[in-house]
A and B are shown apart, each in its own frame.
Chain A
Amino acid sequence: MSKIEIRSPLPGTFYRSSAPDAPPFKAEGDSVASGDAIGLIEVMKTFQEVPAGVEGRNITFLVENEEPIMAGQVIAEVEA
């Protein structure tokens, strides 16, 4: 089964949910559609949604909530 990587488009701080008390955009193992948000990145006083950009099943996150992230870093993997 092939895995597809979802990479961060920009550097900043990664968040799994839209607010501290909100549920995560995606739970481990969820399926994603291309337009689905999988998290937020905070940079330059703004929050940017990270779209999955791919369609897949069984998402696995490789970056923790509130972890610093670099552009191009793999945030999550999904199965094609």
Chain B
Amino acid sequence: MAIKVLHHGLATTVQDLGRPGYFHLGIPVGGAMDRFAMRAANLLVGNDEGAAGLEAVFIGPKLEFTEDALVAVTGADMPAKVDGVPQPGWTAFKVKSGQTLTFDFLKSGARICIAVSGGIDVPEALGSRSTYPIGALGGYKGRPLAAGDVLPVGKGSLASEGKTVDEDLRRKPDMPAELRVLPGLYWHRVTEESQENFFADEWKVANEADRMGYRFKGGRTLDFVDREQPFGAGSDPSNIVDSCYPYGSIQVPGGTEPIILHRDAVSGGGYFMVGTVISADMDLIGQLQPHTPTRFVKVTMEAALAAREERRAGLARLREALT
């Protein structure tokens, strides 16, 4: 079984749930930007949650199947078509040998996850099939897909055709999007007024938003508390002595445009971070289009942990519904 790539879309990569455990060596966690959607797509077609699928951003790929398979498309609302016939999202549908899977215009969200029964069977690299293009690691030859590629697919089952994820289990960002943030170690570096402004202002997703980081524009510039820069820190007040960058941390170079580090992020550097987006909201970021109005909402550690529990419960309901 194989899938022929007839068109790659904009940036389509093989992704699974990532390769945790190497961030301290500079190798990012990787994996789907919307991991809930990737888990759901896999469960719909009878795969393990951690099987590899495809992640496509803004534009879907054009794929030809060489054998019958079950396919599910989750995440963004970008209608799939089999030989031109529209298919429902968040639902397992059959693609027969010789048929072509294409996609309509993106309607909402930003990224689709495409799961195929049997999973995309590229070799694992450091325990994951996720593509990290900058490091030429994992996925299909370490790079985004291109026309002419032939993707190996594992052995799957066609048993779960028609399975669907209930509307209330699907998760989409609100408008404006709300991202909950826990202030971090360097919170004291900005003035009280700037601390308030950061959460009061409406920001917009910038065009410079990708798997490494999501940049935001439009809020007021942060002012820093005066200090003599410590030895080892750069001269800009937004510089710190080099530090680890957590997944989800929000750095604000020069105090102007916040950048949330995401799945393919750099692991450390010399910019201060206002805080970290809580784990429960990271999937939502993967579904934000450029120009989406966004608010940051200040939460406590207790609220962050409660939100994490809530996401775990949502995932448990998904598993119960699909397995």
Contact = CB atoms under 8 A, between A and B. Distances in A.
27 contacts: A9-B58, A9-B59, A10-B10, A10-B59, A10-B106, A11-B58, A11-B110, A11-B290, A12-B207, A13-B207, A43-B10, A43-B207, A44-B10, A44-B207, A44-B208, A44-B210, A45-B207, A45-B208, A48-B10, A70-B289, A70-B291, A71-B58, A71-B59, A71-B107, A72-B105, A72-B106, A72-B107
Interface in A19-77: 42-45, 48, 68, 70-72
B209 interface: yes
B57 interface: yes
Contacts of B289: 11, 70-71
B150 interface: no
B11 interface: yes
Nearest to B210: A44
B140 to A, nearest CB: 19
Interface in B175-226: 207-210
Given A43-B207, A71-B58, A9 B290 contact: no
A12 B290 CA distance: 6
Interface in B257-304: 289-291
Nearest to A8: B105
Given A13-B290, A68-B291, A71-B289, A45 B105 contact: no
B78 to A, nearest CB: 8
Contacts of B291: 11, 68, 70
Contact of A45 (B10, B57, B210): B210
The number of chain B residues touching the other chain, given as a range, is 10 to 19
Nearest to A70: B289
B208 A71 contact: no
Contacts of A42: 207
Given A10-B58, A10-B59, A44-B57, 11 more contacts: A9-B59, A9-B105, A10-B10, A13-B207, A42-B207, A43-B207, A44-B10, A44-B209, A68-B290, A71-B59, A71-B106
A74 B85 CA distance: 23
Contacts of A48: 10
Contacts of A7: 105
Most chain B beta-carbon neighbours within 10 Å: one of A42, A48, A70, A71: A71
A11 B210 contact: no
Contacts of B110: 11
A66 to B, nearest CB: 11
A20 to B, nearest CB: 16
Contacts of A43: 10, 58, 207, 290
A9 B78 CA distance: 11
A10 B208 CA distance: 14
B106 A44 contact: no
A43 B11 CA distance: 11
B294 to A, nearest CB: 14
B106 A11 contact: yes
A7 B107 CA distance: 12
Contacts of B106: 10-11, 71-72
Query: Which are the 5 A-B pairs with shortest beta-carbon distances?
Result: A72-B105, A71-B106, A10-B58, A68-B291, A11-B289
Contacts of A9: 58-59, 105
B299 to A, nearest CB: 29
Most chain B beta-carbon neighbours within 10 Å: one of A9, A12, A43: A43
A45 B209 CA distance: 8
A11 B129 CA distance: 28
A38 B254 CA distance: 36
A10 to B, nearest CB: 4
A35 B106 CA distance: 22
A43 B288 CA distance: 12
Interface in B72-129: 105-107, 110
